[in-house]
Amino acid sequence: MAKMKSGDISSDRGNDELREMDVTLDFTPNALSSLLYKQGDTIVLICVTKAPSLPRWFPKNSDRGWVHAEYSLLPGSTDSRFRRERNGAKGRTMEIERLIARSLRGAVDLEALGPVALTVDCDILNADGGTRCASITAACMGLRLAVRRLIESGECLPKELRPSRDDISNGWTAPKLSEEEMRAHEDLVMPNDVSAISVGLIDGEVYLDLDYVLDSNADVDMNVVGTSDGMLVEVQGTGEESTYSREQFDSLMDMAEVGLERLHKIQVDTLSGN
């Protein structure tokens, strides 16, 4: 049995079309990398920062890095004011943060990254459906740009070129990698990109990239996270007061693959030359 629909789902967008997208790089100046990402009316601010040290729970003298993510709906992002979570992240927020972080770590070789800890902040400026998916897609671009800059500055080097403690105390200077060496190391640190897309089933039809209206009317909605080499990180699928068949599941996944492929191309094109 399908759930009660909440409104008109008519749209100028085809079932298999992504919402209009726009990316502004280096939107804020202080972060290692930042970008303002718009997917329809969902707007996300991504800021990537480098911590002064690895997390305290890491083994001493660890030679691998870490990627952490935080997610927040800002007060004006929803139609009624969203209260700041001043006493710590609530359940939904924590779940989304963990999803973003493990999705990003699915695209990063932490050994190749080296002893570097990065935090990716995803702040939702305006929410119109698919905020977790938009955050993952945008966060990956911010992370790659940050990694690229760390390599350029000599803070992220191949293992054989990293300094020892004695080297550092003796005034070690980071070697300058060639353009080819920097690209090769970036490919080791981030061999793939990761993106995420929502799909839904409404009255038997499959829709791509759900905005709020589509999501609120969906009998089944699904978030799919995948890497640019065709691997999956996570699939979150739910029948909203409804059930769905294996055939419908396959149709949803086929549509998600179409969206992920397009998103990966947008990620590459956006960072080309930066």
Q: What are 86-127's pLDDT values in tens digits?
A: 776 678 889 999 999 999 999 999 999 999 999 999 999 999
Looking at the predicted structure, is the pLDDT value of residue 237 above 90? yes
pTM attached to this predicted model: 0.92
Length of the chain counted residue by residue:
274
User: CA 120, 197, 202: angle at the middle one, nearest 5?
Assistant: 145
pLDDT, average across residues 189-209: 96
Separation of CA 227 from chain center = 11
User: What pLDDT shows up at residue 2?
Assistant: 46
Among 8-12, 21-25, 163-167, 186-190, the minimum mean pLDDT is found in 8-12
Mean pLDDT within 211-230: 95
Q: What are residue 126's phi and psi, to 5 degrees? A: -150, 130
Q: Which residues contact 5 (CB under 8 A, 6 or more apart)?
A: 217
Phi-psi region of 253 (alpha: psi -120 to 50; beta: other; left: phi over 0): alpha
Instruction: Give residue-wise pLDDT tens across range 127-170.
Output: 999 999 999 999 999 999 999 999 999 999 999 999 888 888 88
20-41 mean pLDDT: 97
What mean pLDDT comes out for the span 54-64?
90
What mean pLDDT is reported for the chain?
92
pLDDT at 1 over 50: no
3-state secondary structure the chain: CCCCCCCCCCCCCCCCCCCCEEEEECCCCCCCEEEEEEECCEEEEEEEEECCCCCCCCCCCCCCCEEEEEEEECHHHCCCCCCCCCCCCCHHHHHHHHHHHHHHHCCCCHHHHCCCEEEEEEEEEECCCCHHHHHHHHHHHHHHHHHHHHHHHCCCCCHHHCCCHHHHHCCCCCCCCCHHHHHHHHHHHCCCCEEEEEEEEECCEEEECCCHHHHHHCCEEEEEEEECCCCEEEEEEEECCCCCCHHHHHHHHHHHHHHHHHHHHHHHHHHCCC
pLDDT of 60 reads 85
What's the CATH number for 21-271? 3.30.230.70
Q: Parse the chain into domains and list their residue ranges.
A: 21-271
- Mean pLDDT for 260-274 is 94
115-124, 188-197, 233-242 — which is least confidently predicted? 233-242
